[in-house]
Structure 1
Amino acid sequence: MSHIALYRTWRPQAFREIVGQKHIVQTLQNSLREGRFTHAYLFNGPRGTGKTSAAKILAKAVNCLNGPAVEPCNECANCIRITEGAVMDVVEIDAASNRGVEEIRDIRDKVKYAPTEVRQKVYIIDEVHMLTTEAFNALLKTLEEPPAHVMFILATTEPHKLPATIISRCQRFDFRRVSLEDQVERLHEVCREERIEADDDAIRFIARLSDGGMRDALSLLDQIMAFSGQHVTYDDVISITGGMASDQFEKLVQAIKQRDVGAVLQLIDDFMQEGKSADKCMENLLYYFRDLLMVKMVPGSQAVTDRIIDVKRFAGVAESFTTQELISMMDTLNYYQTEMKYSVQPQTLLEVALMKLCSSTAGGAPSRAGISDGSKGAERAPDGLVSQLMSRIQRLEEQLVQLQKQGVAPAAGSATGGGAGQSGSGSRSTAIPAAMKKSVEKLDGFLEGKDSQDSKSVLQKWNQVLGRVKEQRITIHAWLVDGEPVSVHGDAVLVAFKSSMHRETTEKPANKQLIEQVMADVLGSPYRLISIMIKDWKSAADQVKPVEGSKEELKLVPEDEPVAAREEWISEAIQLFGEDLVKIKED
């Protein structure tokens, strides 16, 4: 007989076998004992914590020939056939692949019929958050008032994606991550039954890697058993999972403490030669510093004893650092770990992060606060420079007040009216703020071509562009679908976005390159992608509309031509705050 995966072999078949969910098991058993089970349940929690297993056990308990009972007997015909999935009245649906309204309408039409084989008709809908809005609407009324013989059990890892109207119609049970001790006990039980010898530190490391998911832990144990044979050791687990032993990190941390850059780089190179990944090294190093900090600050905590096997050894390493040094190191490592997600050279970032730790003056690392938001590697500005900038800002504020007293309106004021600066010609002022002049000048060609044949052709084929992008990269499609083409000028297509986040993500070089390639394929010639916020596009279009009854022409300042007669205080304001934040009203 072929091998069956451990997580399937050891799948709970009774409530007493569910690991780490005592609060849920007790509630369900009490409701079964008193006959107070409801028509709709919502099981949510992390993956591998027993949601679907609990749903099947509940289906057996309400339909057991010896029940309804607090535990299914697993011996009667109903229990056996439900376990095998052979009962037509107990339906398990994967909402990830059956997410449309038609599938839910089919359920709605069939619930009215009484069960033919068992006492209670049970629908288990797994990953229910994947259903479409229309499907949820179709399910809503049935879920609220189903026939007496029907029970719904919804399971999900992301309950926040469910409509509140669905959640309010269910009894909600929150499954927790399985504790490390419960996982260790279960894994030892599995090893005993499978006649496998396993070292305690190896089992604990497997439990730590599974992050509270019992299924993940059993799958990992199954893989390691195939590698190790009849005896599972700690070294085997390290080797097969690509992890790193704590003594390797101890050497690395000691080299950082001694500021031995050569030894640090050699250790990183050794990790890479062993097939470790840079992001995994960074993740494990952060965990190691976290453990050092826990040992130093709360040595008797349960969180320490759960994660650390040799607490005394960790305490010895932690003594060589101050608490602030450890926090600073974690802060810097966390910053570079975030940067790794967008880097094509993660190993280089790992090396830079550790060299930065070595080169710090106090043996630690500068905190994240020391890194400027504007330039990611910049150090904190000296106090003298901060004082100088504050003085300049105060001086600018005083000058602005004086200008306002002289009749210059504030930037937020009206652009029209009969103020002191109004032209004596009596005509309506057509002056545009300097920042808007640049924007309109850039869009001039697009504004003229928004109703052209090329623009209409691109708009007609845009759904084909979206479809082709979705086929190649669905994540990019999710951002691009927020925009719509508004004009074509030359070899450029202007796309207007409602959301700035969607626009910025679409503008990333890799995403933009793919979109432009798709546009070339669909439209038949190469086009560049230009983006704009839709509110800016409408504003620019409004600026060039001629005033009714007026023949005055709107003249635009060329983009490269500097705006004349800018006073010194205006230049300073733009340097300090940026041109986007400084608004200038011309007379």
Structure 2
Amino acid sequence: MSYQALYRVWRPQRFDDMVGQQVVTRTLKNAIITHQISHAYLFAGPRGTGKTSAAKIFAKAVNCHHSQDGEPCNECDTCKAITNGQLNDVIEIDAASNNGVEEIRDIRDKAKYAPTQADYKVYIIDEVHMLSTGAFNALLKTLEEPPANVIFILATTEPHKIPLTIISRVQRFDFRRISATDSFERMKYILDQKKVEYDEKALWVIANAAEGGMRDALSILDQVLSFSDNQVKLDDALLVTGSVTKQLLKKYFLEVCQGQSAPALETMKQILGEGKDGQRFIEDLISFIRDVLLYQESPDLIKVESTGLKDEDFAELSKAASSTILYRMIDDLNNIQMEMRFTTHPDVYLEVLTVKLSQPEAEQPVASVSKPTQAHQEANQAEVDRLQAQIQALQQTVQVLQQQGTTTISKPVANSASKAAKEQPRVKSRSNRVNLHQIYPVLGAATRQDLAKMKELWGDMLNMLSVPQRSLLHVSQPVAASPDGIIVAFDYAFLFQQATDDQALIQAMEDGLQRLSGDQRKVVFVPKDQWPQIRKEYIQSHGLGKGSSRSTGNNPQPAAASAEAPAEEPVSTAPATVQEPQPKSDEQKDLVTTAQELFGSDIVKVENN
């Protein structure tokens, strides 16, 4: 076969011939010049970017005896043999079809032998990510301790599939995608050498369709040359690549931006009627909108001649839609592109897409925010006035509470609070309500012995609870206990309210205390700051404080209630004194007996006046 494809004929034979990989080629040339050649390399990058070509050039350069500046001479017998694939010491292996353990073991065994003709034996393993796990393991030892004069070059398009143990033993070079400008210049050079007539706009279409692959660009160029009888024309390039003309894209874009869905649908049908591919149409439209978006930001960001349009066209397109609409268009196009991969009717998706792009609802919220109407301003002012009234009512309530004190709240304060609550229905305060009907029966039968017993069992009971329940009771302690009940005080009101609402916690505490003490007790919670007042009111309401005097100004500490004062209040340990006038009546005797039962006979001292 006499004819060869362009990508084979014009395959790079020197590092300087490679397109768009200056960093890689410079590093490899310096390694050859300074004789710092590694035993293994990994060339990773997209398809058609020169990985295998670079591997062959490197194999020639390390074995060429007439190399200059790290470049092979391509004139000696060794270089010519490697170029023609006839040198036994340069072995190229396709890992896609030789991915088993036996093939890699054969390579490992043959690598032990010295090269026959060249200075280095070079193994080029293409698509190395296709190797099996066992094959990678068989190759691992050879890469770790390679024989002398052996170089491994691994090439892959998917480096993430290669084990890290392999990557850590090689020098990795990442080949980047070739820009459309570099592809354009390379194709222009080749056509000039072949003395073929061409249209530069057609070359730009081919360069953009190649998507960063030089081999793909040359393959498309080969197709165009075959289609147009050794000429490169714009219409032929558009037809071969399935791309859409810039004028049709411009017309479609303007119709969509102006909300003319019917003309836009006709333009879209015209594009599909010419045999254009739906996927290619979406890609060209995304690239087109991207150019318009960059031109809006700064005209210097794009190369206008590479787009096939003029500055006047971009000036018109940039005024047709705002950046917000362009963002929405690109998002919609990406979504449709994903959905079209699995359909056999792309025209339906494109019709729906055209109608959706023609609807400008996406910009309405932005306009309403940037330019508020008079009605919005009035509504906002009314909301501000209402909030200011609520703040004033709250400030008045706070001032009244500060004047009256925090212990008791008088009726005017309650009235003002209720008035403020009516004025601000959204603000709800949750009061800490204490159930006195459960507390008073426990106080009536409370004894110091029961409280001491509960304190001894308190730690064991906490260990029987779950971690969240235990953390909730961390700031609580029993303050009173009776044979059938226990009162637990919380340091913080919000924790008291949370515990009161947690029926599971109450049930778990009652079950734990019953297991430990053998008696069933009712658990009641109170806030610690309200406990002294509750205790005082109980004593006064039951007539337990008559005829009794306190050694300090603190609240009384009845024994039956096991009344424990707050930690910050000093509690006097002096015995309670009851003065009994003479003569004693039955009522006074009952009072002494009751006091002894409450406070204990060792604390109560009876004095006769």
State the TM-score, normalizing by the size of structure 2. 0.59
Structure 1 counterpart of 2:94 = 94
* Counterpart AA for 1:250: K
Question: Is residue 190 from structure 1 mapped to residue 190 from structure 2 by the alignment?
Answer: yes
Structure 1 counterpart of 2:36 = 36
Structure 2 counterpart of 1:114 = 114
Match of 2:177, SS?
Answer: coil
How far did 1:222 drift? 0.4
How far did 1:108 drift? 0.9
Question: Is residue 80 from structure 1 mapped to residue 87 from structure 2 by the alignment?
Answer: no
- The 3 A distance-change label for structure 1 pair 248 and 142 is same
Q: Is this contact kept in 2: 1:46–1:176, CA < 8 A? A: yes
Distance in 1 (alpha carbons) for counterparts of 2:125 and 2:68: 22
- The 3 A distance-change label for structure 1 pair 269 and 309 is closer
Question: Is residue 181 from structure 1 mapped to residue 181 from structure 2 by the alignment?
Answer: yes
Give CA deviations for 1:460-508 in whole Å, capped at 9, x if unaligned. xxxxxxxxxxxxxxxxxxxxxxxxxxxxxxxxxxxxxxxxxxxxxxxxx
- The 3 A distance-change label for structure 1 pair 103 and 307 is farther
- The 3 A distance-change label for structure 1 pair 407 and 303 is farther
Q: Is this contact kept in 2: 1:89–1:120, CA < 8 A? A: yes
Alignment of 1:513-528 (within 5 A): none
Distance in 2 (alpha carbons) for counterparts of 1:107 and 1:313: 60
How far did 1:216 drift? 0.6
Question: Is residue 138 from structure 1 mapped to residue 138 from structure 2 by the alignment?
Answer: yes
Distance in 2 (alpha carbons) for counterparts of 1:365 and 1:81: 69
How far did 1:180 drift? 2.2
Distance in 2 (alpha carbons) for counterparts of 1:256 and 1:67: 60
Structure 2 counterpart of 1:291 = 291
Alignment of 1:219-230 (within 5 A): 219-230=219-230
* Counterpart AA for 2:349: L
Structure 1 counterpart of 2:564 = none
Structure 2 counterpart of 1:126 = 126
- The 3 A distance-change label for structure 1 pair 304 and 164 is farther
* Counterpart AA for 2:89: D
How far did 1:232 drift? 1.0
- The 3 A distance-change label for structure 1 pair 408 and 117 is farther
Distance in 2 (alpha carbons) for counterparts of 1:303 and 1:334: 24
Give CA deviations for 1:149-203 in whole Å, capped at 9, x if unaligned. 1000111111111111111111111111122222111101111122211111111
* Counterpart AA for 1:295: Y
Between the two proteins, the alignment pairs up a number of residues equal to 388
Q: Is this contact kept in 1: 2:119–2:149, CA < 8 A? A: yes
Structure 2 counterpart of 1:218 = 218
- The 3 A distance-change label for structure 1 pair 339 and 44 is same
* Counterpart AA for 2:283: E
* Counterpart AA for 1:79: C
Structure 2 counterpart of 1:300 = 300
Structure 2 counterpart of 1:544 = none
Distance in 2 (alpha carbons) for counterparts of 1:215 and 1:159: 20
Distance in 1 (alpha carbons) for counterparts of 2:340 and 2:54: 39
Distance in 1 (alpha carbons) for counterparts of 2:156 and 2:93: 12
In terms of mean alpha carbon deviation, does 95-104 or 63-72 score higher?
63-72
Structure 2 counterpart of 1:248 = 248
- The 3 A distance-change label for structure 1 pair 419 and 333 is farther
* Counterpart AA for 2:208: R
Q: Is this contact kept in 2: 1:356–1:365, CA < 8 A? A: no
Identity of aligned residues (%): 48
- The 3 A distance-change label for structure 1 pair 231 and 365 is farther
Q: Is this contact kept in 1: 2:128–2:156, CA < 8 A? A: yes
Match of 2:299, SS?
Answer: coil
Match of 1:225, SS?
Answer: helix
* Counterpart AA for 1:197: E
- The 3 A distance-change label for structure 1 pair 34 and 355 is same
Give CA deviations for 1:235-279 in whole Å, capped at 9, x if unaligned. 110111111011001111222133222212212221222112322
Distance in 2 (alpha carbons) for counterparts of 1:107 and 1:307: 49
Distance in 2 (alpha carbons) for counterparts of 1:348 and 1:364: 27
Structure 2 counterpart of 1:475 = none
Question: Is residue 351 from structure 1 mapped to residue 345 from structure 2 by the alignment?
Answer: no
Give CA deviations for 1:326-362 in whole Å, capped at 9, x if unaligned. 1122222222222223444322111111101223346
Distance in 2 (alpha carbons) for counterparts of 1:104 and 1:281: 45
Q: Is this contact kept in 2: 1:73–1:79, CA < 8 A? A: yes
Match of 1:172, SS?
Answer: strand
Distance in 2 (alpha carbons) for counterparts of 1:185 and 1:338: 33
How far did 1:124 drift? 0.3
Alignment of 1:30-429 (within 5 A): 30-67=30-67, 70-302=70-302, 307=307, 309-361=309-361
Match of 1:66, SS?
Answer: coil
Distance in 1 (alpha carbons) for counterparts of 2:510 and 2:188: 87
How far did 1:102 drift? 1.1
How far did 1:2 drift? 2.3
Distance in 1 (alpha carbons) for counterparts of 2:102 and 2:15: 34
Distance in 1 (alpha carbons) for counterparts of 2:285 and 2:365: 14
How far did 1:63 drift? 1.4
- The 3 A distance-change label for structure 1 pair 36 and 322 is same
Match of 1:109, SS?
Answer: helix
- The 3 A distance-change label for structure 1 pair 408 and 109 is farther
* Counterpart AA for 1:312: E
* Counterpart AA for 1:270: Q
Q: Is this contact kept in 1: 2:246–2:308, CA < 8 A? A: no
Match of 1:319, SS?
Answer: helix
State the TM-score, normalizing by the size of structure 1. 0.61
Match of 2:265, SS?
Answer: helix
* Counterpart AA for 1:127: E
Q: Where do 5+ consecutive residues of structure 2 fail to align?
A: 367-427, 429-494, 512-609
Q: Is this contact kept in 1: 2:255–2:261, CA < 8 A? A: yes
RMSD between superposed Cα atoms in Å: 3.0
Give CA deviations for 1:354-389 in whole Å, capped at 9, x if unaligned. 1012233467999xxxxxxxxxxxxxxxxxxxxxxx
Q: Is this contact kept in 2: 1:119–1:149, CA < 8 A? A: yes
